[in-house]
Amino acid sequence: MTAPILRIQHLSAVSDLEGGAPILRRVNLELAPGEALGLVGESGAGKSTIAKALLGVLPRTVRLTEGEITFDGKNLRTLPPKALRQIFGDEIALIPQDPLTALNPGRRIELQLTDGLRMRRKLPWREARARALQLLAEVHINDPERVMRAYPHQLSGGMRQRVLIAAAFALEPKMIVADEPTTALDVTVQKQILRLIRGLQEAHGTAVIFVTHDLGVVAQICDRVTLLFSGAVIESGSTEEVLGTPKHPYTRALIAAGPRYDRPGAGLQPVPEAVIAQLRADVAATDGRPGA
């Protein structure tokens, strides 16, 4: 692998709401520049915690206890706040799960799309506006002038998510974190939005982390996959390797249980209780090093 844009090493986190219960257990993962990584796991596995750690928005009740997050050669855990603010939003962007709450309801799309271009890139108004229109065209919005004038509530969920995708790519970040970007959308729209993100990711050469509970999404749009269970990495590898020749019983069970690779959004099917019970015991006994 070329020098990774992101390397997470031995990252552990605990919940202060639940008496120091582990949330992440020595998580390792790597992302190459321009690569799409699927971060997969059931609800509560710790996917969003990793996403939040990468964006510097962990809740106060979640505490990192060990490990490193190295982004573009910089250790995000030790950088001063000012340097971090520069990186978040500028070099690392988010495509959120819920497009409605991520947009400011009282401001026209035009303002929300041009803010970053004007303030962080210092573009004059006219240039920022021209760039915003271009971005809206890139996310296949047919009438960008109308959308620029609209307030968020005047757009459909799919349109709002397209606007947020445009916003995420606006500053040409090196990495985008997409946290379950289609769960709030109709199934018919989900596939289009996933393809759109994949197309832009390839065209712009952006590294993307797709947080998902859906192996179907991974099969369609991810180069590599990291599978989490109860805060521990269970298996990592190329999508082809992991889905084609899974090594861990949990991965095999997920695949055997019949996720529909041709139908993203269909979700994971139940994994046998016995497999889950064994895995819980292994993860707890080895504190995140199953097989250790």
Ligand X SMILES: Nc1ncnc2c1ncn2[C@@H]1O[C@H](COP(=O)(O)OP(=O)(O)O)[C@@H](O)[C@H]1O
Q: How far is the CB of 211 from ligand X (least distance, A)?
A: 7
Q: How far is the CB of 58 from ligand X (least distance, A)?
A: 8
Residue 45 is a binding residue for ligand X (CB under 6 A)? yes
Other beta carbons less than 10 A from residue 136's beta carbon: 24
E strand intervals along 97-216: 175-179, 207-212
Q: How far is the CB of 50 from ligand X (least distance, A)?
A: 7
Which residue, 55 or 135, has its beta carbon nearer to Mg ion?
Answer: 55
Among 23, 170, 177, 255, binds ligand X (CB under 6 A): 23
- Side-chain-side CA neighbours of residue 239 (13 Å): 19
Among 4, 22, 41, 288, binds ligand X (CB under 6 A): 41
Among 32, 62, 102, 130, binds ligand X (CB under 6 A): 62
Q: Closest Cα to residue 232, out of 7, 5, 1, 13?
A: 13
Tokens 């997470």 sit on residue: 8
Other beta carbons less than 10 A from residue 130's beta carbon: 14
Size of the site for ligand X (CB under 6 A): 15
Among 43, 122, 153, 292, binds ligand X (CB under 6 A): 43
Cβ proximity of 250 and 275 under 8 Å: yes
Q: How far is the CB of 242 from Mg ion (least distance, A)?
A: 20
E strand intervals along the chain: 6-15, 21-31, 36-40, 62-71, 74-75, 92-95, 175-179, 207-212, 224-229, 232-238
Of the candidate spans 43-51, 60-68, 86-94, 146-154, the one that interacts with Mg ion by CB under 5 A turns out to be 43-51
Binding site for ligand X (CB under 6 A): 15, 17-18, 23, 41, 43-49, 59, 61-62
